[in-house]
Structure 1
């Protein structure tokens, strides 16, 4: 019976979305479906208000502007292609200006050569002719300088436009690499960062990876609902950030999983940092300020691997994940440092599971 009720609710939602799109003459493309669904679902009040403000028949441009704000993942190609087109236009404009300037300078050079020839000729040595030559040169020089100033002005304008495009791309990259719930770096940013560790073999040995997972996270969602689960993730992210230096890389890598990349560290310092994070999260209360309901303590398990104990980014992550698995298996709410012997314990546990 519950399953059937869920299907009915899903059908009702789909029907409402389609009806709204037909009524507002909204094109049936995937990004529009998601935008309308989320706006009608009212999970984001600000999105709902902005969607309603578009009026009864929004244009595709208005829908895309709103979608780009809340669902950047759909607009990766559009943003990059648009930036490419604008930069191409600005570069072409610069080339045209430079060609015009080159042509102007070539004309000025020809005039100077002709004037030199006339001055050098004994047949044109009268004061009147010399006066005319001086006036011609003066006028040509003034025109050339004026044109040069115009070119410089236009070049500065083009450079400013290209800088604006760069800023827009930087902002897009920031959004594309940010987890919307916790405002930490996301998995895409983490994958980029961890590969950088082994770009310099000598520097790699001073790096460490900490991966952590919220213990019994599913229970928060099942017992109290997803809003409380989201709040748990927010609290964990905030506590971790407050217990790390600002230059330390911290990411939410998926679900209830987080990762920390330390640079210029040692094994002892890394274990100390992980333990500090664990204790701080365990000591942070999680209560409903309005009702006074205590949702219980939040605990996390952490696995550590020093970069010197792995040959590449993939092995580093796998080793840290093994340590995390054993931290969970040994009782949760603890820190485990990877050692080669853990591989045997993991295989033993896996064989027991298969039996």
Structure 2
């Protein structure tokens, strides 16, 4: 996709060109806008590319969201989440109201018990009629409370079940909204949340790392074999990364051919070994068409590592990991590099451009 001013910018990769196009069009650098411009740039839908280009230099967020809703159904998942959340809040308010009523009923019942007990034990109320009257009142109150209590218990149970259904529905909406449909890994939204949460616990910074990864020469694969083949390779790469590390490691597809891992519980040397295991797994995996035998490989990946203790916050951690990734690319690709002071930061992307 050409930039709106009709000239191509000589920058190192697709992400830079997408970001540049968004900047000169005055588009907010948030995840859903980045997705629109990335897909328009790679040409996955010629019609999408034309519609984006037709907006010119005055694209409003409403116009972009309308295009997003047209081409990407998951742009509406946030609305589904909000709806499920509101439904759960309503159910909870109803349940709390019911329990408040029950508490009020019990308080009234307790007062009646006290009054009845006092009447029975009043030495001045020795007549049989007074005692009989007190016992009658007590029996009626007890019967009413048991009946009402049973109904309320049944209502509480029913409402609790309804809330559990809504909770499961909400959990499923969140899972879908945080999952990349192509690789079934976490997506950029989930990654942003996970990365931001790293600095909530300073005690774990020495054993928490961010690893950024990028498939080498992936544009050449798309240009040579087409985007459908590229998508299959992306899905395979995601599966290989997932199979190469332990289950508790957070993995996300953060961009076109970009992936990220957040690793907790390991020092830098151990994290580098984990990243190296991923790199070698991809290097040794043949990428061939099962029927035609066409070889799409070799497919390799470069990775940059940075420990949370080497950064003051998520933005700096992302920038330093991306600097290490750039150095891995610049030093021959298909390698793992950990961030070190003095690394040349020629083109490190800022995590903040993806934050809403």
> Structure 2-normalised TM-score?
0.72
Deviations 1:231-269 (A, max 9, x none): 111111111111100001111110000111111212221
Alignment gaps of 5+ in structure 1: 1-5, 15-28, 39-69, 348-355
Counterpart-to-counterpart distance in 2, 1:120 and 1:306: 75
- After superposition, give the CA deviation of every residue in 1:53-107 in whole Å (9 maximum; x if it has no partner): xxxxxxxxxxxxxxxxx823214134314431x2343244334434543554455
Residues 1:100 and 1:242: Cα distance change in structure 2 (over 3 Å): closer
Q: Does the 8 Å contact 1:209/1:317 carry over to 2?
A: yes
Number of corresponding residues: 291
Task: State the secondary structure of the residue aligned to 1:251.
Answer: strand
Tell me the secondary structure at the aligned position of residue 241 of structure 1. helix
User: What pairs up with 1:182-201 in 2 under 5 angstroms?
Assistant: 182-201=183-202
1:140 deviation in Å? 2.1
Higher relative contact order (CA 8 A, sep 6+): 2
* Aligned match of 2:310: 309
Give the alignment of 1:91-240 within 5 angstroms: 91-105=92-106, 107-109=108-110, 111-112=112-113, 114-116=115-117, 118-120=119-121, 124-127=125-128, 129-240=130-241
- Residue of structure 1 equivalent to 2:75: 73
1:277-313: per-residue Cα shift (whole Å, max 9, x none)? 1111011111111111112210111111122222221
Q: TM-score scaled by structure 1?
A: 0.73
- SS at 1:342's partner residue? coil
Q: For residue 179 of structure 1, report the CA deviation from its aligned partner.
A: 0.6
Which one has a bigger Cα radius of gyration?
Answer: 1
Distance 2:279 2:119 in 1: 89
The alignment yields a C-alpha RMSD, in angstroms, of: 3.0
Tell me what 1:243 maps to. Answer: 244
Shift of 1:10: 4.3
Describe the shift of the 1:30–1:149 C-alpha distance in structure 2 as closer, same or farther (beyond 3 A). farther
Distance in 2 (alpha carbons) for counterparts of 1:10 and 1:80: 31
Q: CA offsets, 1:126-170, max 9 Å, x none?
A: 445534432432232122122112112212222222222222222
Contact between 2:207 and 2:268, CA under 8 Å: does it hold in 1?
A: no
Q: 1: distance between equivalents of 2:200 and 2:115?
A: 60
Residue 281 of structure 1 contacts residue 298 of structure 1 at CA under 8 Å; is this kept in 2? Answer: yes
Report the 3-state secondary structure (helix = DSSP H, G, I; strand = E; otherwise coil) of the residue aligned with 1:343: coil
Task: Return the offset for 1:315.
Answer: 1.1
